[in-house]
Amino acid sequence: MPRKKELPKKPKPTMEAWFEGAGSTQEESITDTLEKNYLPYAMSVIISRALPEIDGFKPSHRKLLYTMYKMGLLNGPRTKSANVVGQTMRLNPHGDQAIYETMVRLTRANECLLHPYVDSKGNFGKHYSRDMAFAASRYTEVKLAPIAETLFSEIDRETVDFVPNYDNTMQEPSLLPATFPSILVNANMGIAVSMASNICPFNLVELCETCIALMKDPAHDILSTLKGPDFPSGGYILHDEAELRRVYETGRGSIRLRSKWNYDKAAGCIEVTEIPYTTTLEQIKDKIAELVKNGKLREVSYARDEIDVNGFRLAIDIKRGTDPEKLMAKLFRMTPLQDSFGCNFNILIGNQPRVMGIREILEEWLAFREECVRRRVYFDLNKKRERLHLLEGLKKILLDIDKAIAIIRATAEEAQVVKNLMDGFSIDEIQAEYVAEIKLRHLNREYILNKIEDVDKLAEEIADMEDILANPKRIRKIIEKELKETAKKYGQPRKTMFLHVTEEEDIPIEDDTPDYPVHLFLTKEGYFKKITAQSLRMSGEQKVKEGDSIAQQFEATNRSELLFFTTKSQVYKCRAAVFEDGKASNLGDYIPVKLGFDEDELVVGMVMTNDYMGELVFIYENGKAAKVPLSAYETKTNRKKLTGAFSDKSPLVKLFHLMEEETPILLRSSGNRAILVDSSMIPEKTTRSTQGVNVMTLKSKQIVTSAEIPRGELLEIAESFRVKTIPAAGKLAKELADSQQLSLV
């Protein structure tokens, strides 16, 4: 035999080669990584976690409620919450705390839902409190609330699909066949990836009436029956028909909510008994305390929590002589006692997120409900057909009971009984099996006659069900009947009332900040002082840090607006009232700390205004100048910080607030040259961050070192440096050498 050719042996990998391979990486596109790793996660969050479906539930809610139903908690006694949490983990592979928190929000005691699905006993916290924590699951008890019967009354009649749980050991429903549009009855909020959902609750009776009206007339005006949201926290909705219609049509919009209050004249306090659904007691108290501390709410002396067994109560002590109506108008404007609910009706329909208006949501729910009723009727129809089929076989046995007994007695083997009955009476195997299972005591004419009396009734019922399945109008009649029964049994009066705010009431409240003359001082290092005229007259020399000096000073009022420009091209806005009245003997407030500047950010200039009139002129080291109207820094909202306040392409040398169109500005360069230019020569720009135009021509490595508005003797000297066009290189500034120490205004 020829010898086999030996293959060369592969060398064994060395330890050095193994270490080299262990650290190797394979390049991969970021888009491929996102597609393989991130997109499946994002889809899972959207479809299986954060967004509700047409039955009104997220998967976590549905798994919990179905577990409680299977535990017999619909009609049975309460059980410890820990038991429910443990059983739910068979369907929900998350931690027990996450499951328990889901349960807490579904309970009656938490007051989060308009119609809670869980009847509870124990401390489950409160939706309106941030700090009122719920007790551990081993201490509390739960069962399903009566309204949960509408979710499970037909769950075992094949009305919805069942799917395997996460480990394929049991089945769970993909949806719950609720007999009312639960998607709009209880509030539901979820944050997914790149999208969110925020559904406000509506009154059950109004919603059922609207569904019935839509079935009769698809063009029905929804606002005529569904007046508006109804929140479990009560309070008022500031009625805005245009905004409500926008929410109803698009599924997006904002609904303004206001607290309910009354004035206790004897106690001298305002009692708030209902607050907006979107806020908490602690948020309101914290905001009131902040306003009082900052001197913006001088009428309030104290706000305290007086919640007891009778419910929510926030007491606000007010000072003597305060008008409670005006104070509440101010509190509504400045605190969460008036808040907004942002609607975003984003719902999963066929595993696809869709933002829908009320009409579209109800149409989708009616289609879902029609399918549930159709499947329920079909399930009952099959059961009755099976029952009729058995009774028809029993009817044949009635013709000769003795023959049936003889066949059974004559059969030697038990396995042949069914076959012999089939042959003897011409019945099928199912009918023969049913006859064979009849007890001996029931083999009498009376029993069989009683049984077959149902044959005609069953036939009529079967015909009726077949007609229902063939007639969509009859299916809608069933839905209408169920909606009326649900509304009658579980409906409750509206909790949130409507408040029609007149135009006069909605006018912004006048500013009540005390107004009086003050003197403002800003030092080069960023220290600020606000001193009253009386205090200034009684004071001596201005105290500043060693090496520091006063850079700017103004005569203003306590309501004057102040704009602090910084080294990072930002401007911080505030009122003079923000600062406490000081004395000349104090160093003052350090602006970067007082206004919360960014790290390493310093003040480069301050502007004082009462009306945002005039212009700002910025002089930069590169010889450019920009002119921007001060009105460009005025904002409708009370913004404290504006970015891009001026160009950051070159360091800022000086900024001026000019009220006159032709103001002379003297610029000096590091090349010992100077020019005097009128501000009118600099074109005005509307963009705050404009780089401006060239004003002074500079040689290489030269910069503008100073800019000032010359007055008196300095102005006379500077006239010889006046230029008629820009840019200009200027003249050598020998004449200005002796004028460096002149004071400038």
CA end-to-end span of the chain: 116
CA distances from 671 to 357, 499, 706 (A): 70, 71, 12
Cis peptide preceding 164, ω within 30 of 0: no
Q: What values do phi and psi take at 29, rounded to 5?
A: -65, 145
Q: How far apart are CA 418 and CA 363, in angstroms?
A: 52
- Where do the DSSP E strands lie in 433-579? 497-499, 517-523, 527-532, 550-557, 561-566, 571-575
> What pairing do the DSSP bridges indicate for beta strands 269-274 and 260-264?
antiparallel
| DSSP code, position 641 | E
* SS3 per residue for 410-433: HCCCHHHHHHHHHHHHCCCHHHHH
Q: Which residue has the tokens 């509030």?
A: 187
CA nearest neighbour of 683 among 619, 617, 728, 623: 617
Query: Does the active-site annotation cover 139?
Result: yes
Tell which residue, 732, 591, 714, 616, has the closest CA to residue 671. 732
Cα atoms in the 13 Å half-sphere on the side-chain side of 359: 17
Max alpha carbon distance in the chain (Å)? 143
**Dihedrals phi, psi of 514, to nearest 5 degrees:** -55, 135
DSSP 308: B
Beta-bridge partner residues of 624: 694
Find all residues with CB under 8 Å of 120, minimum gap 6, and list them: 107, 108, 109, 110, 140, 141, 142
Q: In what order do the strands lie in the sheet with 314-318?
A: 260-264, 269-274, 314-318, 300-305
| Six-digit token string for 407 | 């066949």
In whole angstroms, give the CA distance from residue 718 to residue 148. 89
Name the token pair of 606.
């301050």
CB neighbourhood size of 551 (10 A): 16
- Which residues neighbour 350 within 8 Å (Cβ) at sequence distance 6 or greater? none
Structure tokens given for 508: 């912004």
Bridge partners for 561 per DSSP = 575, 609
* Residue whose C-alpha is closest to residue 551's, from 599, 607, 610: 607
d(CA 381, CA 387): 10
Question: How far is Cα 163 from Cα 80, in angstroms, rounded to an integer?
Answer: 28
Nearest to 393 by CA among 439, 433, 420: 433
CA 294 distance to own-chain centroid: 29
What pairs with residue 355 in β-bridges? 346
From the list 139, 166, 302, 516, the catalytic residue is: 139
Q: Residue 44 carries which side chain, given as an amino acid letter?
A: S
Number of H helices, E strands in the chain: 22, 33
Q: Which residues are catalytic?
A: 139
